[in-house]
Chains A and B, each alone.
Chain A
Amino acid sequence: MSTDPWIWLSAILTLAIFSFLYKENPVYRFAEHLFTGMAVGYMVAYYWQRIIPDYIIRNIFLAHNWVMLIPLAIGLLYLFRFVPKLSWLMLIPIAILLGVGQGMSLPPTIEADVIKQIQGTMLHPGMLNDIFDPYQGLLVSLLVLVGVICTITYFFFSREHKGPLRISAQIGIWFVMVGFGASFGYTVMARVSLLIARIQFLLTDWIHLIR
């Protein structure tokens, strides 16, 4: 068994979290709250020790970069959230952030999420050369093309799903189900991975059953 008190603390907290699997209990609650508190405390301490000295003291005051006081002042308007009568002032930084964020992200988002994805749906095996060999690439491209068209027709509600539209929509729902299945399978793997990592920690670092 480990003689490191930190390993023991980690192991005890891991078991405290696992105790929820039996039923809700105060030990689990304590560990859960401790985790949340630690995460927030770490964030506050990190900002206080590293970000504020670097971004505010060094970049503005030591560098005499006085123009940066303007964004600092705008950012500080967020604190008016705690002054009910003047809380509307925090809308200013929110508006600026939203405006700048949207303006900045719109063109590249359209290119990355819309245009490139439409191109990816088209029959263009050359785009797959780095990942697939050309024959597999063509097959995958065809499958993607059929899948996208059929799935979109399933979500086409302006006409009743009759005739070819019905067939296409029914094929589409199969593609959707396969997608859900893949997502669920990956989710199971992710959750099992988390369990395995903790059990590995308990068996390896704590009780030294595995070396």
Chain B
Amino acid sequence: MKIIEKMGRLDRRLVYLLLTVAVIIPLVMSLDVRTHVDRSTLGLFQAIERIEPNNKAVMISFDYSPDMSAELDPMGLAVLRHCFARNVRVIVMSMYIQGAALAERAVAQAASEFHKRPGVDYVMMGYRPGGAVIIMNIGENIRKAFPADYYGTPFDSLPMMKNIRNYQDIPVVLTLASSGVVGTWVIYAGTRYKANVASGVTAVMAPDYYPFLQTGQLLGQLSGMKGAAEYEQLLVDKGYYDKKGLASRSMNAISSAHILIIVLILIGNIAYFAVKDRKPKREGT
């Protein structure tokens, strides 16, 4: 019984240490385990599959700051690789100041892998302040929202943007978000301008947006690191990319950490009830 009581009073630093070990071992062993693909991930993947190459463009908005890049960077990279592998054009933008730099890093990496040219195969629009106003401007005329790209190239000098006027020429709008900005995209781009909005969100936010998925207001959703791993799995399965990315390599570590947390929760509860039953009851209670 004493052991159970001691387990119930585990030093939190020991818990952190156990968690670190539980994460490091699978990362070092780097086992290749297949990830089951959820329908919400498939919804986005199939929407991009339906786009005709070298014609209309996918819009990806990097709406997050570096503190959430661990979960959202792999998503952005996976979707960019999918688009570039299929020769689908991409418009990259951000509603967050720091998101622009993260977007630039991701698009530069994916573009170099697939030898894509700025202004022709993709356009980096960067950050524009205004939130909902920018989303509505894109719905009216994208030129109003982005008179020039991130590097100062005027809109009319971007060959890719020649036939892109508003959401009607953008079959998929993907927001990679760490905040309620998904709701803003759904409300203004989706509801008002009938754009096809999809989201890639942090795992914390994922349950909040499942209702939008169920009503069809979101055509797909990537949920946390697992969503990114699922997308990477689809890219490998379809032959668009030859190796899995950061998210897939993390899935074993996530699983082992989850098992450890479940075990700790069980131990904590057993210890709680064991100690509770042995405590003498106070008078009058």
Q: Give the B-binding residues of A (Cβ under 8 A).
A: 21-22, 39, 42-43, 46-47, 50-51, 54-55, 59, 101, 104-105, 108-109, 111-113, 116-117, 119-120, 127-128, 130-132, 140, 144, 179, 182-183, 186-190, 192-200, 203, 209-210
Contact = CB atoms under 8 A, between A and B. Distances in A.
Given A186-B224, A199-B23, A209-B28, A39 B98 contact: yes
B258 A119 contact: no
Nearest to B246: A200
Interface residues of B, number: 57
Nearest to B192: A108
A203 B27 contact: yes
Contacts of B202: 190
Contacts of B207: 179, 182-183, 186
A187 B70 contact: no
A120 B28 contact: no
18 contacts: A46-B100, A50-B127, A54-B147, A108-B192, A116-B191, A120-B211, A120-B214, A127-B215, A130-B43, A131-B213, A140-B214, A182-B207, A186-B224, A189-B203, A192-B258, A193-B254, A196-B70, A210-B30
Interface of B: 13, 16, 19-20, 23-24, 27-28, 30, 39-40, 43, 65, 69-71, 97-98, 100, 126-127, 129, 132, 136, 147-148, 183, 186-188, 190-192, 202-204, 206-207, 211, 213-217, 219, 223-226, 246, 249-250, 253-254, 257-258, 261
A211 to B, nearest CB: 9
Contacts, number: 141
- 10 A-B pairs with least C-beta separation: A197-B70, A120-B215, A190-B203, A193-B225, A186-B203, A112-B191, A189-B203, A190-B204, A108-B191, A192-B257
A101 to B, nearest CB: 8
Contact of A196 (B206, B219, B250): B250
Given A104-B132, A108-B192, A112-B191, A186 B24 contact: no
B188 A108 contact: yes
B213 A117 contact: no
Given A197-B70, A198-B70, A210-B30, A186 B206 contact: yes
A104 B224 CA distance: 31
Given A186-B207, A195-B257, A196-B225, 8 more contacts: A43-B98, A127-B215, A187-B204, A190-B204, A193-B71, A196-B70, A203-B28, A210-B30
A188 B203 CA distance: 8
Contacts of A203: 24, 27-28
A117 B211 contact: yes
A130 B97 contact: no
Nearest to A136: B39
